[in-house]
Structure 1
C-alpha cells in the first residue's frame, strides 16, 4: 500500500515539476539567480532528477545511473525540452524501481548510508518524497519571483 502511495506522490510531484518548468515565459529565466536566490529552477530540477535517479533508480532499481552532484548545481542552460525529458525518464525510473519492491522490503535497511546513520528503505523513500516537495516549492517560488 505504501509503495503505491509513494509512486502516486512521486509521479504527481514530478509532473508538477514539469508544469513549473513549462510555465516559465522565458526559458532563460529557468537559470537566473539574483539577490539571495542561490539556486536556479533549472539547477533544482537537475538536482531532483539526480537525487531520485541515484537513491531510487540506482540503489533500488539497480539502474546504471552515475550521479555527478556537482554538475547538478553548476551546469547551466540545459534546454527546457531536455529538462522535461529528464523528468519524464525519472518518472519511469521511479515507478519501475518501486515496482521491483514488495511491502516487506520497506522495513529492510536501505543499501547505503545516506545520513549519519543507517535507515530503513521506507524512511529514505519518505524522505525523498518530502525532499522533492520541498524543492518543488522552491521552483514555484523562483518562477513567481524571477519570471515576471
Structure 2
C-alpha cells in the first residue's frame, strides 16, 4: 500500500460523505433515528470526523485536536453547512498530514496503542479507510431509507 493510494481512498470516500450529507432533501432527516437505527447520519458523520482527526490529525500530524467521542453521538442538529465544512477541513488535514510522510513510514510501528497491540502505521491507516467506508455505507442506507 502506498501513501498515494491511501490519499486517493480517503479523498474519494470523504467526498462521498460530503455528497451524502448534501443529498438529504430534508436537513432534519440527517438526525433522524427510527426503530433499530440507533445512530443518525449526522452522528455517524461527527464520529468519522472525530475519528480521523484523532488518529490522523492529532496522532500522526500533531494537530492538537482534542476528541470528545461522547459528543459525536450525543450532539444533535448540527447545521448541515457545519458538517460539510468539517468534512472539507478533514480532507485538507488528511492530505496535509499524509504529504508529510514517505512510503517507508508506513512500515514503522505506530507510536500510540490503538488496538490490543501495537500496529504499523500502514495497518492503522488501512483500518481507518475501512472504518470510513463502513459508516459511509450506513449513511447512504440511512439517507435512502429515511429521507423521503
Q: TM above 0.5, one fold?
A: yes
Partner residue, 1:112: 112
Matches within 5 A, 1:83-94: 83-94=83-94
CA distance in 1, matches of 2:16, 2:90: 13
Deviates more, 1:107-116 or 1:77-86: 107-116
3-state DSSP of counterpart to 1:61 = coil
3-state DSSP of counterpart to 1:114 = coil
Query: Offset at 1:50?
Result: 0.3
CA distance in 2, matches of 1:147, 1:4: 35
TM-score (norm 1): 0.98
3-state DSSP of counterpart to 2:15 = helix
Question: Structure 2: 5+ residue runs without aligned partners?
Answer: none
Partner residue, 2:65: 65
Partner residue, 2:34: 34
Query: Offset at 1:64?
Result: 1.1
Matches within 5 A, 1:1-148: 2-148=2-148
Measured on the aligned residues, the alpha-carbon RMSD in Å equals 0.7
Query: Offset at 1:109?
Result: 0.8
CA distance in 2, matches of 1:119, 1:131: 16
Query: Offset at 1:114?
Result: 0.7
TM-score (norm 2): 0.98
3-state DSSP of counterpart to 2:60 = helix
